[in-house]
Amino acid sequence: MLKIDIEKCTGCKICEKTCPFGAITVTDKIAKVQENCTLCGACVSSCPAGAITIERRQIPKEELDKFSGIFIWGECEEKGRDLVPKKVVKELLNQGRRLADRLKQNLAVVVLGNGKVDGLQELLNYGADRVIRCRNKLLDNYTTDGFSNVLCTVISKERPSIFLFGATPRGRELAPRIAARLHLGLTADCTGLDIDEEDQLVQTRPAFGGNIMASIISPYTRPQMATVRPNVFPCEKYDKTKNAEIEDFEVVLSQTSIRTNTVDIKQLTGQREISIEEADIIISAGKGCEKKENLKLIKELADELGGVVAGSRAIVELDWIPHTRQVGQSGHTVGPELYIAVGISGAVQHIVGMSSAKTIIAINKDPNAPIFKVADLGIVGDAMEILPVLIKGLKSSP
């Protein structure tokens, strides 16, 4: 809650100019806060009279210490006729295991659905101590209302200290809804997780256009919530022999609490294209490809190598490829075996989305292009001359 000490307030209006939300106004030389105040704190340090303070509800440390366990949302996807946990769940388990061992707490994965999810036992092999299954026919199709209601109940009952989501479209939608409902902190799009000396989760993410890495903690609320970018952590199998019972969590859910209804599901294009997040080989184009027609060569190379086409934000803005194919900070994080960057300069916002690729090859006519700093192999030259040679070589190889 934001408080203004009217004895100290001089009516200078500095706070009014500072507030990015227009949530503080000065009338009759007294500052007044409006309902849309987000408690961002910008006005507090700007007030020369020290008249503004923010009181945050602080839970005593003994109370925070009662929360225990690292929980992961086991997001599932369709694979053929089956529903299986997404790759990002295994990546989070890998990282979650490390955090759980450090904190000496359990690692749990929470899977929601109608009960037909496959591969739950495998999650134990990937590091989970517990697999909590929430079954209900109203969870047959994903709905934000249904899934957030159930996850809020799981959190209230189980009281974990950390809850992680993949920063997928659904994870990015669910996590803030749950955080807002339970009045929790949330760090979005993390690229690193660690534990500090006070056993708090340190959540690292790019900030200020990717120019700095911010380390964020949630000292006042539990669970500490974060969404984590896919493809930043490896997924390693831990223990093939590990065994545990799948636990069923009792779900109470009414149709009236779900405000949306899935009428039909249609694929955008006839054949489902592999998403760039899942692809093993990516040929990525930048503005150096000069014109949209030249992407034919990128596609041809991708077809020869069995890969997919992606690109930089610059060519998404030029409408050469859709945003679903954009690699980088405001696009997707990818982690393929091979990433070929063609005519991409290597801006920090691009690098952050592809640097975990196993092998990076860059083609650029500028020998000083920053992309070469992360490339395993660099080819300096005109991409429009190099690509046809590469394609020809691949076509003629047995």
Q: Please give the residue ranges that form the binding site for ligand SF4 (CB under 6 A).
A: 2, 4, 9-15, 18-19, 21, 23-24, 26, 31, 33, 37-43, 47, 49, 51-52
52 or 327: whose CB is closer to ligand FAD? 327
How many chain residues touch ligand FAD (CB under 6 A)?
30
Closest CA to 151 of 169, 140, 164: 164
Q: Decide: 230 and 277 in contact? Cβ < 8 Å.
A: yes
DSSP calls for 327-342 = BSTTSB----SEEEEE
| Nearest distance, CB of residue 253 and ligand SF4, angstroms | 36
| Nearest distance, CB of residue 380 and ligand FAD, angstroms | 9
Q: Does 230 bind ligand FAD (CB under 6 A)?
A: no
Task: Return phi, psi of residue 212, to 5°.
Answer: -130, 160
| Nearest distance, CB of residue 32 and ligand SF4, angstroms | 9
| Nearest distance, CB of residue 200 and ligand SF4, angstroms | 24
| Nearest distance, CB of residue 54 and ligand SF4, angstroms | 6
133 or 313: whose CB is closer to ligand FAD? 313
33's contact among ligand SF4, ligand FAD, none, with CB below 5 to 8 A by partner kind, is ligand SF4
Interface mask toward ligand FAD for 189-218; x: CB under 6 A? --------------------x---------
69's contact among ligand FAD, ligand SF4, none, with CB below 5 to 8 A by partner kind, is none
Closest CA to 307 of 319, 299, 296, 317: 299
Between CA 44 and CA 30 the distance in angstroms is: 15
38's contact among ligand SF4, ligand FAD, none, with CB below 5 to 8 A by partner kind, is ligand SF4
Closest CA to 302 of 311, 291, 314: 311
Q: Decide: 236 and 96 in contact? Cβ < 8 Å.
A: no
Q: Decide: 318 and 279 in contact? Cβ < 8 Å.
A: no
**From residue 4, how far is each of 10, 21, 175, 325 by CA, in Å?**
11, 17, 32, 48
Q: Decide: 198 and 250 in contact? Cβ < 8 Å.
A: no
96 or 171: whose CB is closer to ligand FAD? 171
| Nearest distance, CB of residue 16 and ligand SF4, angstroms | 7
| Nearest distance, CB of residue 35 and ligand SF4, angstroms | 10
| Nearest distance, CB of residue 341 and ligand FAD, angstroms | 8
Task: Strands of 208-264 (E only): list them.
Answer: 212-216, 224-228, 246-249
> Which residues, listed in sequence order, are joined to residue 110 by a DSSP beta bridge?
73, 132
Residues in 326-365 at the binding interface with ligand FAD, rule: CB under 6 A: 326-331, 343-345, 347, 349-350, 353, 363-365
| Nearest distance, CB of residue 176 and ligand SF4, angstroms | 18
| Spatial CB neighbours of 283, under 8 Å, sequence gap ≥ 6 | 298, 301, 302, 305, 307, 308, 309, 310, 340, 342
Residues in 158-187 at the binding interface with ligand FAD, rule: CB under 6 A: none
At which residue do the structure tokens 């957030």 appear? 148
224 or 364: whose CB is closer to ligand FAD? 364
Binding residue for ligand FAD, selected from 101, 337, 366, 376, defined by CB under 6 A: 366
Residue 263 φ/ψ region, left for φ over 0, alpha for ψ in the -120 to 50 degree band, beta for the rest:
alpha
47's contact among ligand SF4, ligand FAD, none, with CB below 5 to 8 A by partner kind, is ligand SF4
49's contact among ligand SF4, ligand FAD, none, with CB below 5 to 8 A by partner kind, is ligand SF4
SS (H, E, C) 140-185: CCCCHHHHHHHHHHHHHHHCCCEEEEECCHHHHHHHHHHHHHCCCC
Binding residue for ligand FAD, selected from 69, 286, 307, 336, defined by CB under 6 A: 286
**From residue 226, how far is each of 161, 223, 288, 382 by CA, in Å?**
12, 10, 36, 42
Taking CB under 6 A as the binding criterion, the range among 57-65, 107-115, 250-258, 282-290 that sits at the site for ligand FAD is 282-290
Binding residue for ligand FAD, selected from 65, 196, 199, 382, defined by CB under 6 A: 382
Question: Would you call 261 helix, strand, or coil by DSSP?
Answer: coil
| Nearest distance, CB of residue 189 and ligand FAD, angstroms | 11
Q: Which helix (H) or strand (E) holds 107?
A: strand 107-113
Binding site for ligand FAD (CB under 6 A): 209, 286-288, 290, 312-315, 326-331, 343-345, 347, 349-350, 353, 363-366, 369, 382-384
